Every structure is written in C-alpha cells, then in structure tokens.
Amino acid sequence: MANRYEINQLEKQESWRMFRIIGEFVDGFDTLPRYLPAVTVYGSARIAEGSPYAHVARELGLTPVPVPFAVSLIVFSMIHLIPGDPIHIIAGEMMLPEETRDALRRPLGID
C-alpha cells in the first residue's frame, strides 16, 4: 500500500524538480497581470537568452498579434472600398422589390 501512488516512486531530486516546475508556473502567472492583455506559451525547452533560437521564439510569439490585425484591416478595407451591393449578387437576375432587399440587408448588417 505504501507504493500505491506514483509520487512514492520518485527519487528525491525528481520530486524537488516537480516543485520547481510548479513554482515556475506560479511565477509566470503572478507576472502575467502586469502585461495584460497577453498570451503565454509554456514549454519544456531551455534556451539561453542570447541564443538565436530565443530571438526566433520571441518573434514567433509576437507574430500572432500583428498578422490577424493586418488581415482584418485588409478584409475590412476591401469590403468597404469595393463598390457594389452583396444583395445584387445574392438576388442574381431576379428583380426584387426594395422592401425585400432591405429585409435581406438587415440580417447581414449592411442596412
């Protein structure tokens, strides 16, 4: 019964390593509120701060912010700058009364 749990099988160094890792998580979550809004990425690799890999990892971590913003801005601009009415595309060749066109525009948010 003494060996029932896996933690009982750990060596002394391994159990302290586990507590050190938990401490790193706690430190990270305590530091995070100073940088809100923020995104965290946790991993098990250790890379020296001056390493080129650390620079690449940092750049990749910053990429998710500007790329979706730029894509959103481009799509928004295209939607509002390209002339035309989506209802004409939806209706095709059908001649719809203006009330029906307004009713179709309302759910799309383009009324």
25-38 average pLDDT score: 81
Token match 């500007």: residue? 66
Mean pLDDT of 15-19: 79
The model's pTM is: 0.31
Alpha-carbon gap, residue 10 to 25, rounded angstroms: 21
pLDDT tens for residues 94-110?
788 888 888 888 888 87
pLDDT at 5: 58
Residue 43: helix, strand or coil by DSSP? Answer: coil
pLDDT digits (tens, 9 = 90+) for 35-94: 777 666 666 567 777 888 888 877 777 777 777 888 889 988 887 787 777 777 777 777
The domain locations on the chain are: 6-49, 67-108
Q: Which stretch, 4-8, 21-25, 81-85, has highest mean pLDDT?
A: 21-25
| CA gap 61, 67 in Å, rounded | 11
